[in-house]
Amino acid sequence: MTVTLRDVAARAGVSTAAVSRTFTPGASVSPRMRARVLKAAEALGYQPSTIASAMSTGRTKLIGLVVTNFRNPLMLDVFERFTAQLQDRGLRPLLVNLRDDADPAEAIAMLRGYRVDGVVIASSTVTRGFARAFAASGIPTVHSFGPVTPSPDVHVVGIDNVEAGRIAARELLKRGYKPGFLGGPGTASSTQDRVAGFSQYAPRAYKHNAEAYTFQAGYDAMSRICRRATGWFCADDVLSLGAMAALRDRGLRVPDQAGVIGFNDMEMASWPGIDLTTIRMPTGAIISGAIDLVTAVMDEPDRPPETRMFPCTLMERGTLRSSAPKSRARA
């Protein structure tokens, strides 16, 4: 059926080793031999089997990409960059959908079965236990968008959520809002860190966690809590949009009567009509960082767990007023 190494060798009248070497970069082959093999290979339409190669070298060039939440527009950027950057390094993403109901043990078994060279978890909601389980299975694992901790037990590339919380609080106070915090699911470490930083500047701020990082969850939550504060830090852009819709439906004008600052800076945050002030996460840097790190761990499996942290920046747009409303405050 498919043409193999031996077919090519036979046609070129050389050994299989010679054929293998012409397709292995850096192997010792004379130009004459290479040309001869290439000619036969082309005539036969030969394509080396990565699978067979993986068999003997022990490297599949496969990277498991584990995703839990496909609903967030941010993931589009993540997929695009991951695939592009892996491809540039000759690696391939094996996509794994780790839904809520899915058994992580099963996902691990499957990735072990394929003998993936490494795993990158792209999720802020995966618990540390999950990440640890992957790493414990002996596969080089990097948790991107994961929790930054002082003594990590798994490689992490993430952002400074605490500082992001501080930035948000400072901005809200500077502009004369009464700060409030609307987070995502309480179990997510990202939410915990952001609220911690936020509280450093706004210790008495009202705090509430929505049930999910979705529009509806933001809408529902904000409908109930909209009077508890005037300037809201929402831990996700989509959540922010839901919250803003609720604020408007309650008759509160953004940004005059209520301010919103989001998180992620997804593409549509900058669209006219949305124009969301938000905190930008350096997605590109995190992803290159994660890929760099996972390849480094592949080369040196016993590397101690390492954390790479990137800063976030404020994207000023239209959902935060520029300063406290003096006239109205006095009126």
Partner DNA sequence: CATTCTGTCGCAACCGGTTGCAAAACGTCA
Partner DNA sequence: TGACGTTTTGCAACCGGTTGCGACAGAATG
Give yes or no for residue 65 binding a copy of itself (CB under 8 A). Answer: yes
Whole-number Å distance between alpha carbons of 42 and 34: 12
Give yes or no for residue 270 binding DNA (CB under 7 A). Answer: no
Q: Shortest approach of DNA to residue 78 CB, angstroms?
A: 31
Give yes or no for residue 97 binding a copy of itself (CB under 8 A). Answer: yes
Give yes or no for residue 299 binding DNA (CB under 7 A). Answer: no
* Helix 161-174 / helix 189-201 crossing angle, nearest 10 deg: 40
Give yes or no for residue 103 binding a copy of itself (CB under 8 A). Answer: no
Q: Shortest approach of DNA to residue 30 CB, angstroms?
A: 4
Give yes or no for residue 151 binding DNA (CB under 7 A). Answer: no
CA distances to 91, 152, 276, 292, 314 from 77, rounded to whole Å, are: 18, 26, 18, 18, 19
- 249, two tokens: 């439906």
Q: In what order do the strands lie in the sheet with 278-280?
A: 206-209, 179-183, 231-234, 259-264, 278-280, 313-315
Given 6, 39, 89, 115, the residue binding a copy of itself (CB under 8 A)? 115
Check: CB of residue 132 under 8 Å from CB of residue 154.
yes
Query: Residues 251-290: x/- map of binding to a copy of itself (CB under 8 A)?
Result: ----------------xx--xxx-----------------
Q: Which is nearer to DNA, 20 or 283 (CB)?
A: 20
Check: CB of residue 293 under 8 Å from CB of residue 285.
no
Residue 110 contact, options DNA, a copy of itself, none, Cβ 5-8 Å cut-off depending on partner type: a copy of itself
Whole-number Å distance between alpha carbons of 245 and 178: 19
Check: CB of residue 156 under 8 Å from CB of residue 304.
no
Check: CB of residue 148 under 8 Å from CB of residue 158.
yes
Give yes or no for residue 56 binding DNA (CB under 7 A). Answer: yes
Q: Shortest approach of a copy of itself to residue 38 CB, angstroms?
A: 14
Give yes or no for residue 57 binding DNA (CB under 7 A). Answer: yes
Give yes or no for residue 50 binding a copy of itself (CB under 8 A). Answer: yes
Residue 91 contact, options a copy of itself, DNA, none, Cβ 5-8 Å cut-off depending on partner type: none
**Chain centroid offset of residue 93 CA:** 14
Q: Shortest approach of DNA to residue 106 CB, angstroms?
A: 18
Coil, helix or strand at residue 295: helix
HSE-CB at 85 with a 13 A cutoff on CA atoms is 22
Where on the chain is the footprint of a copy of itself (CB under 8 A)?
A: 2, 47-52, 54-55, 60, 62, 65, 67, 70-73, 75-77, 79-80, 83-84, 87, 92-97, 99, 102, 109-110, 112-115, 215, 219, 241-242, 244-245, 248-249, 267-268, 271-273
Where on the chain is the footprint of DNA (CB under 7 A)?
A: 1-2, 4-6, 14-18, 20-21, 23-24, 27-30, 32-33, 46-49, 52-53, 55-58
